[in-house]
Amino acid sequence: MAGRIVRDLTRLAASWGTRWSLWPPHIVTACCGVELAHAFGPAYDAERLGVLPMPSARHSNLLIIEGTITMKMAKFVKWVYEQMPEPKFVIAMGACAIKGGVFYGSYHMVPASNVVKVDYYVSGCPPTPEALLRSIQKVQEKL
């Protein structure tokens, strides 16, 4: 009985810790990076949600893809995604990451959903920081 309680409390604490420590590596290839920087600035303070940009994918459950993905870049995106531990979530931010944006139909563009499994799409060109923060909260609810 005591072992079960300890195990349940440990699982609960680990779940809480994962939910409030999403440290996403972000792949910036276009102007959406400016809005991401704004979301992490003092006006929106994404850190209050436990989100802090991290250079290493091995310590994160969330990947934010911002901007255009070319065929060459797709290999790198997939490589970063494969390094992430389970459970892993992906947010495609901006029209370019979702379907190519102004480069739609170009021979060298690849939508993010063709490279990795995208969980949330943040539309806009560029999307607002509020929209990004809402998608991060949706990821936290899923955890």
Distance CA 110, CA 87 (A): 24
For the whole prediction, is pTM greater than 0.85?
no
pLDDT value at residue 81:
93
Q: Are 83 and 55 in contact (CB under 8 A)?
A: no
- Our CA angle for 82, 88, 93, nearest 5°, is 95
pLDDT value at residue 13:
67
Is the CA virtual torsion 14, 133, 34, 45 positive or negative? negative
pLDDT value at residue 82:
93
Distances from the Cα of 9 to the Cαs of 4, 6, 40, 72, in angstroms? Answer: 9, 5, 32, 45
ω before 24 within 30° of 0 (cis)? no
> Across the 143 residues of the chain, what is the mean pLDDT of every consecutive 10-residue run?
74 68 79 84 84 80 89 92 90 90 86 93 90 89 81
| Structural domains in the chain, sorted by start | 1-142 (3.40.50.12280)
Which uninterrupted H or E stretch holds 27? Answer: strand 26-28
- Residue 65's DSSP bridge partners are 27, 92
pLDDT value at residue 78:
94
For residue 64, how far is the Cα from the chain centroid? 3
